[in-house]
Every structure is written in C-alpha cells, then in structure tokens.
Structure 1
C-alpha cells in the first residue's frame, strides 16, 4: 500500500503488514511489516511516536540502503550508506533520519532465536550495527523478494522465514559467504592440517604457523569464515572423531582419548560429556 502522511517519506514509497501465525511465532523467523521507502531531508522517525509503540514495530529492524544515506541513533550514532545494511533492536531507544534524498528497503522481523542471532552478529562485529554484505549474500534480492511477496501475497511463511534466515546468516558469517573454498585458502589448509594432526597437541600458534599467518590474524579469519574459534573447532572435531570410534571400534575409552588428541582419559571424558551431553560409555551403548 502507498504510504500517506509520513513526513519525509515520498509518494512512491510502499509499506506492507504481515500478521504471523501461531506456528510462525513459535518456529520461524517472521516479518511483521516491511517497505520500500524513498526519503527526503524531512524524514525523522523517533521512538516516542505512536507507531513505535505498536507490537509490529517493537522487534528487530533490518534496512538495506539502495541510494543516499540513512542515519541512526541507538546506543551509538552511525550512518548506513548505499549498499550497506543496518541492524537495530527497536525495543531499545532509536531514531532514524535522512539528511537528504535516500532510498531503502526495510523490514521488521522476529523469531524464536532472533535475539540470539542479533547478539551474535553484533558480538562478531564488535558491536557495529552497519555492515556491507558480500555479493554472495544476495541481500538486495532477498529484501526485494520478501517485500514483493508480501505485497502480492505470494510468499509463504516458510519461504519468508528462509529468506530472513539467509540474510542473518550472511551477516553472521560474511567471510563464509565469499570464502574461496579451494585448497589454497588458509582456512581450508588449516582444516586439513587439523584433521591430519588431530591426535597431536594443536595450540593455535602451531596451526597458524602451518598456514603462514600470525595467531591473531589466523584466529580472526578462521572465526569469521567458519563461525568457530580454532580451539572450539578442534575440540568439536575431536569429539566427532571420538563418536565415530566409539560406534565403530572396540577400542577402550582411554585408547580413543589418546587417538583424538587427549593426554588424559579424565579430561577426555569431561570434555566429551560436556559437548555430547552423555559420557563416552553411555554414548557407546546408545549412539545418538
């Protein structure tokens, strides 16, 4: 529907509403309102207006700026420029405004683990709420498909959830979307090195040296590319290998512990139980 009487929003702008089903609220990501706006310098949305008090607004907000600049004031002040995405928790104090002409697509969304995504995205980015999506993220297309789908009533709740999920994953793992997965890439090399030396001690410094990177640079690259710290990845890889050995061999728990890089059976049992939720002996009897 056309937007009427919203200061600073030009007549070409459109806005659409969506009321999620009980199932969507429980299981999916869902959009409560979205739009394609054209702004002028008079646009100034503040969180003390009546719209901001509506349930369809008090959730999470994503905006993709197609041209110009949209400014934000939340816990900090920042600007979202052409080709960038802004992410805001509209339950917190906020203000959006334009100092000149701008165009953007936006959506309000929520979901059962939306908060966890929001917190993790900001944690990975040092609290920064402005991001430049990779080309592989197809952010503009995802926004456009959600908006047109709600306009034409052709998008299902499942498809809408999937598109929001892809957007969030693209923001959570920006390096992964554009990662060169060839064998020459440092992260690919590191994963191969870890697999080949899993039974040995693997401090981050050793793995970083194997791919000719400093430990700090390697850790940042590995985390942004995989979502795991190198240490967490190694631990989980060891647990997965231990599960396979418990299921397919008659090796003792102690032997398996040494085969997957632990030098103490006690430490292995504690680590396995923490990650798998059951002890190695219980897992062997009832593989999950």
Structure 2
C-alpha cells in the first residue's frame, strides 16, 4: 500500500495485518509494517497508537520524543517505543527506515525487559540477524504470499528474545577479561594442586578451546604456560630465600616430580635449581 501522508516519498510502502482472535490472545503479531522514505520536515505526533514500534534507521537521522525526553536517532540505530503512550518523531533532513508496529500476549513484558537494558534508542554490534527477521516478517506482504501468522509470531519472538539476551561486545570483552583474571587468582591459590585446563575452563563457563584462546589473548600465555611460569616464580623465591631442599621446593611449588621440576627449571632459566641457588647466593 502507498501512504497518503505528507512528506512520505512515493516509493515508500506499508501493509496492515489483521491477525485472528487466537493469535491476538496467545501470540505476538505485527499490526502495521513498512519501509518508508521520510522527506525533510516530516513529523509524526500521536497521543497513542495501540501497539509497540520497532524501527531500524537505514539512512539519515531523526529525533524521537517520548516520556518527556528527546532522543536523537541516526543510521544503524534501532528505535523501540511504547505507542500506547504519547510520542513524536520528526526530522529536518529526512530518513529511511523499516518499521513494525506489533502487539500481543507478551509484548509489554518483553518491551520492558528490553528498554530496561538497552533503552529506547540503541545500536547492536551486528544488526543483521534482527534485520533479517524483520525482512522475513515483511516478505510475505511485499511478495503477496500467504501470511502464516504463527511464523510471523515466531520471527517477532526471535527478535525480541535476541534483544533481551543481547550483550554488547564491549561488555563481553570485560566479562571475558574478568573470567581470566579470576582463573589466574584460582591458579595462584591452588598452585600446589593438580590444575587441569578443562576444569579451569568450566569454572570460567567456557569451552576448553575458547578458554585457551581467550587466556592467551589476555596474558600472552596459554593456561599451561601460565601455570608452569607461576610455579617457577615460586621456586625461584624459595631457592633464594629459604633453606628448603630442592625436592621440597619442587612439591611446594606444585610440580609433580623432581625430574619434571628440574627439567622445566633448566629449560626456562638455563641453570639447574641447585646451580641457580648457588649463583644467587654468591651474587
């Protein structure tokens, strides 16, 4: 359908969906959806429009007024507002967007969860998965295909669920760094015990492969290298500052045998533990 609104470009189109009673009672559903090219000077103001609006800005910029606030929105931003409340959006320069008005059984609860986390205007590290699902909702209307209401509901649910569980990449990086720091602390506090990388990965809630990769990124060492390095640090201190035997230092620093300890020490330092102790005390 073509819009008759002022300052909506003629190449814009939109569609109205009329869901069945069973869908409106139990599912999410789109009510209106479109792809609009808004011309400079466009302004929309409503006291209410009984639905929720999800809009993705493809080009340009606009201002959204909602809940007594003004929100700037630009290319690659998503806009999510409760149109049951008074709202406005407008632009002096124009913008292009795809949008879906939707409602349904869980619409308000999911909306509240999303905006409490992401706010009403937000961007995603990768908007493509959401855009693809919006396109799948839009497709049967543009291609005049049979509308499968349950499938539309699924796509809407997928979109909202993805937004609920979304964590920005920057926060993920901080979380990963924190997990590795916790792993390092655990290693240091349990250095005399057998430390298995698989168990460390489980504690960090990562797969073993992913844990090793992230650990190396954060420390420039694999977990195994870090464990050996830390055990050697302890052994060097004990060799120079205690009268413990080399054999006792081996087990105090977490090595499983004297032969493994001596081989690792000489490979790292270039001296045997005994030679290192003598050299250090002479120096």
Could you tell me the TM-score, scaled by structure 1's length?
0.57
Q: Does 1:147 align with 2:146?
A: no
Q: Distance in 2 between matches of 1:148 and 1:115?
A: 25
Once the two structures are TM-superposed, the CA of residue 150 in structure 1 deviates from its matched residue by: 2.4
Runs of 5+ in structure 1 lacking a partner? 191-209, 212-288
- The answer (yes or no) to whether the contact 1:137–1:167 under 8 Å persists in 2 is no
**Alpha-carbon offset, residue 61 of structure 1:** 0.6
Aligned to 1:82: 75
User: Separation in 1 of the partners of 2:127 and 2:79?
Assistant: 18
Name the residue aligned to 1:110. 103
1:94 corresponding residue in structure 2 = 87
Report which of the two structures shows the higher radius of gyration computed on alpha carbons.
Answer: 2
Within-5 A mapping of 1:1-288: 1-4=1-4, 6-48=5-47, 57-75=49-67, 76-125=69-118, 128-135=119-126, 138-151=129-142, 152-175=144-167
Aligned residues: 184
Once the two structures are TM-superposed, the CA of residue 137 in structure 1 deviates from its matched residue by: 5.6
Instruction: State the Cα deviation string for residues 129-161 of structure 1 (Å, max 9, x = none).
Output: 011123276122222221222232344111111
Q: In the aligned structure 2, how far is the partner of 1:130 from the partner of 1:188?
A: 32
| Cα distance in structure 1, aligned partners of 2:79 and 2:43 | 16
Change (3 A) 1:188 1:145: farther
Distance 1:185 1:41, change over 3 A: same
Helix, strand or coil: the match of 2:98? strand
The separation in 1 between residues aligned to 2:2 and 2:155, in whole angstroms, is 24
**Counterparts of 1:92 and 1:82 in 2: how far apart (Å)?**
25
The alignment's C-alpha RMSD in Å is: 3.2
Q: Is the 8 A contact 1:136 1:177 kept in 2?
A: no
Q: What TM-score results when the alignment is normalised by the length of structure 2? A: 0.58
Q: Distance in 2 between matches of 1:112 and 1:9?
A: 32
8 A contact 1:133–1:170 mirrored in 2: no
- 1:69 shift after superposition: 1.0
How far apart in 1 are the matches of 2:170 and 2:162? Answer: 10
Cα deviation, residue 170, structure 1: 2.2
Q: 2:41·2:94 contact (CA, 8 Å) conserved in 1?
A: no
Distance of aligned partners of 1:28 and 1:73 in 2 relative to their CA distance in 1, 3 Å threshold: same
Q: Which runs of 5+ in 2 are unaligned?
A: 183-202, 205-283
Structure 1 moving runs of 4+ over 3 Å: 176-181, 184-190
